Structure 1
Amino acid sequence: MKKYLGFIILGSMLLLAACGSNNSSSSDKEQTVTIGYFPNLNHAPAMVAKQKEMYEDHLGENVNVEYRTFPDGSTFMKALATDEIQGGIVGPGPAINNFISGVDVQIIGASSTGGTVIVSREGSGIKSWEDIEGKTFISPRVGCTHDVQFETFMKDKGITSERIGGSMKHVTGEPANYQSMFENESVDVATAPEPWASVLEKEANANVVVPTSEVAFGETLPAAVFVTSSDMAENNGDLIQKMMDAHKEAVSYIQDNPDEAVDITIEGIKDITGQELEKSVIENAWTRTNFTYKVDENVIKEFGNASYDLQFLKEKPDFEGFVNQSFIN
């Protein structure tokens, strides 16, 4: 009887040990991290990181990495606010607008600078900024990065949009559709992120009215920034650091391997938009874009104040806690 009881106790101990082992493995349960980005050239680091599996390498085997693309900053920011994505690349305009509105968003790095070009439709008669008064221009969204850059430039010249009492008419649309809108003459001017400005030059014979070097904040403003929520940054710092390390690796790869990065970007844009852009188009756009993960916080503040001056923001922005450079230093 004692021997039988001993077997029961030993069996119970083994069962408890097995249960403990199962509990230990459950702590290693796979989690999913979703990265968001746009099919624009200044989001090339995301396409390179995806193709080279850099996020997968940095985040490790227990993290399932997914990617989601967006047509504009508004839908991107909604996805971030609802935790559908944990981070990614977006224009500084939507990030600022949402931060000021109380959305939990934090800039933790840059993606690129430059890449915004103002072009006019062939046959529009627009050869310089003076000819734009009373014309119709298009940007991806009202108050987006490229819109603010263009309207700031024009406001400095004394010309504003109808929204604030001026003469310029404003419509919105996806950059990939700008060519068809030029061809049907529904718009006269486009404030275009690359590579779509170069597409319009080559395919629609568009005229460059304001080059990247002259448009407001053209060569200093981050054309795209890497963002996450402050909640993620504070409570999942190790995870965010690994995401930023992958992003930094992608930027460095682009700097060191521009020819291959061009090919990856062409394929990445094709996968999203269905349009296979010519290599010469991307190479032209590349000359107007500088890839970097470093953020100039002062330029971000200047850009935010410009958004306020254009009445995209109801209050002058307070940027306390908006830029967090701890993950790139």
Structure 2
Amino acid sequence: MKKIFYGMVILAMSLFLSACGESAGADSNGEGTDEITIGYFPNINHVAGMVAEEKEMYSETLPDGTKVNYQYFPDGSAFMTALETGDIQGGLVGPGPAMNHFTSGAKINVVAAGSTGGTVIMARNGANIESPEDMAGKTFISPRVGCTHDVQFETMMKEEYGITSDRIDGKMKHVTGKPATYASLFETGKVDVATVPEPWASSIEAEGNGEVLVDTPNVAYGETLPAAVFVTSQDLVKNNPDMVQNIVDAHKQATEFIQENPEEAKQIAIKKIKDITDQELSKEVIDNAWERIDFTYDVEEKHLQDFANSSYDLGFLKEKPDLTGLVDKSFIE
């Protein structure tokens, strides 16, 4: 498929890339459309999106003649806005943005998971941080305020070490930025710690700009929380469940392909990340990142609810969350 690139998402820190543009002829509930758009991020947790695109799996499961477009996003806020406006019909996003938008009234459904794990806390070389207790007065970076990786880090720091950020009257300074830039920010000394999605943590390790402060299993919800969930609109679920089933079937196929063909999936990930970010990651980096991730489409509402409660406790949600109705597992059962 011919792709029109409007700008580099990550390295240029500009507009997100759009493959083939917006979906023409698609309304918010997907009725009468012969064209859809799927979104995902250039992160290892989103490899199912890369595999499905590269192997044209959505074209296989959708009705003949359906045109499939792709959009690549720098963060969950941009993804959720595109979903709510109908610019995309579904795709992979972190659970944090999905839950935050749902509790704010967005009519969305999580219909599958994409992966678990993959969040790593990295410390800059020379920052004099030997353990999380050393974080008081230091600066940390996350992709967005209240994003999945942000909440995981803040929850761990508050519950285990009693240290919070300046957003909640604490002693850590917080800034935001795109994960692919973290290595350069470490190199220039602009941040001390980063809560990093893979493969960017492994990239920082390989470049020697930082070390692992807390590995995936010890980050809050590190192994139980979906690192990516597949989201669509409730309108689409209600008015065009066949389309949703076709989309989820392709996502399931992509996930099973990753499980059965990890080496080929890694090569696809290397290629797609280079296409999207203009940054080529080594096989060593991808291999290291892969060890921290479990690719699965199964999703449990309880794990999302526990995480949402932590987001509320940190003040990222104004009201105590009730995620009843967010998850619809009927398409993966």
Amino acid in structure 2 at the alignment position of 1:304: A
Is 1:175–1:196's contact at 8 Å kept on the other side of the alignment? yes
- Say whether residues 1:89 and 2:87 are aligned partners: no
> What SS is found at the alignment partner of 2:81?
helix
Q: Is the 8 A contact 1:30 1:64 kept in 2?
A: no
Cα deviation 1:169-201 (Å, max 9, x = unaligned): 000000011111111111000000000000011
AA in 1 matched with 2:213: V
Deviation of 1:30 (Å): 6.5
The one of 319, 323, 329 equivalent to 1:319 is 323
Q: What SS does structure 2 have at the residue aligned with 1:213?
A: helix
Which residue matches 2:232? 228
Shift of 1:321: 1.0
Counterpart of 1:140 (choices 135, 140, 143) is 143
Report how many residues are paired. Answer: 301
Question: Unaligned regions of 5+ residues in structure 2, if any?
Answer: 1-31
> 2:300 corresponds to which residue?
296
- Correspondence 1:328 to 2:332: yes
Q: In structure 1, what is the Cα distance between the partners aligned to 2:33 and 2:152?
A: 42
Deviations 1:34-64 (A, max 9, x none): 0000000000000001110100111132210
Q: Which has the larger radius of gyration?
A: 1
Q: Is the 8 A contact 2:183 2:209 kept in 1?
A: no
Root mean square deviation of aligned Cα: 0.9
Alignment partner, residue 186 of structure 2: 182
Q: Runs of at least 4 residues of structure 1 off by over 6 A?
A: none
Higher helix share: 1
Q: Distance in 2 between matches of 1:213 and 1:36?
A: 28
Pair 1:259 & 2:271 matched:
no
> Of residues 207, 221, 225 in structure 2, which corresponds to 1:217?
221
Tell me which of 50, 64, 67 is aligned to 1:64. 67
TM-score by structure 1 length? Answer: 0.90
In 2, the alpha carbon distance for the partners of 1:90 and 1:104 equals: 15
Q: 8 Å contact 1:116–1:215 — kept in the other structure?
A: yes
For the residues of structure 2 that align with 1:62 and 1:315, how far apart are their CA atoms? 44
Inter-partner Cα distance in structure 2 for 1:186 and 1:61: 51
Render the CA deviation track for 1:268-311: whole Å, top value 9, x for unaligned. 10010000000000000000000000002111000000000000
Q: Does the CA contact (< 8 Å) of 2:186 and 2:209 recur in 1?
A: no
Pick the aligned partner of 1:106 from 88, 105, 109: 109
User: Which residues of structure 1 form unaligned runs of 5+?
Assistant: 1-28
CA deviation map 1:215-235 (0-9, x unaligned)? 000001000000001110111
Letter aligned with residue 204 of structure 1: G
**In structure 1, C-alpha distance between the alignment counterparts of 2:44 and 2:271, rounded to whole Å:** 11
Q: Does 1:307 align with 2:311?
A: yes
Which secondary structure state, in structure 2, belongs to the residue aligned with residue 94 of structure 1?
Answer: helix
Between the aligned residues of both structures, percent identity stands at 61
Structure 1 counterpart of 2:314, one-letter code:
L
